[in-house]
Amino acid sequence: MRIATWNVNSIRARQERIGAWLDRSDADVLAIQELKCRDDQFPREIFDSRGYEVAFHGLNQWNGVAIASRVGLSDPQIGFAGIPEYEGVVEARALSATCGGVRVHSLYVPNGRELDHPHLAYKLEWYRALTADIAGQLAADPEKRIVLCGDFNVAPLDMDVWDMAAFDGATHVSPPERAAFTDLLGAGLQEVTRQFTPGPGVYTYWDYQKLRFPKKEGMRIDFELASSVLAEAAVSAQIDREERKGKGASDHAPVIVDYDL
């Protein structure tokens, strides 16, 4: 089964590119983040016309997550147990569904903004709640096939950014954020992309500003985290850097993992 994750940074702006990518990628499941649209604005014809079932959750012009599957899609669930609010709202950042026997989560982790910003405390609480939820699921069923796909907004290792000096005093690389990511792995998950796409200099995101992409100044913040049983079935992975090129590209590249199930 080929499972991909992609922060598309506005699904309506990226419709043609997403359709063309699906046609050539042979993805069985695609977890999508940053839809930037309400549910009534979601362009589901991209997926319907290609034989994909799709579940989606968007509240406004920010955030939003979706899962598209051509191997079945059942029991879609918005959010997770204990998901925190920000400014009184549970944002559209988490969606899960069962696809081909795998519980797939599409996650758009909060950014954090700045080290002294309330959004960082929210981000860390979001991680704690997600970790507790996943730990509970795997404690109840250690053989469960789970994969967390998405934009985790953490660069776990120094080599996951182009220059650590450029991130001095910034989010995404701070010890509390990296600890939160490590704790999530400790819930019973393995990050399955790096073994097939080793770094340094291997990134999934390049800011639009300051010519970051041609300068190769990126970050590795998009991952697939699989439960132990599923991680053992991972046989290959790739980061589709080509999809970051050209007019109308998202600032993230699709991340693709093949599982031998």
Beta bridge partners of 225: 148, 191
Q: What is the structure's pLDDT at 123?
A: 98
Q: What is the structure's pLDDT at 110?
A: 98
If you compute the radius of gyration of the chain from its CA atoms, what whole number of angstroms results? Answer: 17
pLDDT tens over the chain, length 261 residues: 999 999 999 999 999 999 999 999 999 999 999 999 999 999 999 999 999 999 999 999 999 999 999 999 999 999 999 999 999 999 999 999 999 999 999 999 999 999 999 999 999 999 999 999 999 999 999 999 999 999 999 999 999 999 999 999 999 999 999 999 999 999 999 999 999 999 999 999 999 999 999 999 999 999 999 999 999 999 999 999 999 999 999 999 999 999 999
Binding site for Mg(2+): residue ranges? Answer: 7, 34, 151, 153, 251-252
Of residues 151, 160, 222, 258, which has the active-site annotation? 151
If one counts the domains in the chain, the total is 1
CATH code, domain carrying 42: 3.60.10.10
Active site residue 122: no
C-alpha to C-alpha distance for 4 and 239, rounded to whole angstroms:
10
Cis peptide before 200 (omega within 30 of 0): yes
Q: What is the structure's pLDDT at 34?
A: 98
Active site residue 117: no
Binding site: residue ranges? Answer: 7, 34, 151, 153, 251-252
Q: Domain containing 110: what range?
A: 2-259
The upper half-sphere exposure of residue 139, i.e. CA atoms within 13 Å in the direction of its Cβ, equals: 8
Q: What is the structure's pLDDT at 6?
A: 99
Active site residue 108: yes
| The token pair that represents 60 in the structure block | 């406004």
Q: What is the structure's pLDDT at 140?
A: 98
Q: What is the 3-state secondary structure (H, E, C) of 214-234?
A: CCCCCECCEEEEEEHHHHCCE
Task: Please name the residue that has the structure tokens 């981000």.
Answer: 123
Indicate the DSSP class of residue 50. Answer: T
Q: What is the structure's pLDDT at 245?
A: 97
Of residues 108, 122, 205, 259, which has the active-site annotation? 108
Of residues 28, 252, 258, 259, which has the active-site annotation? 252
Q: What is the structure's pLDDT at 143?
A: 97
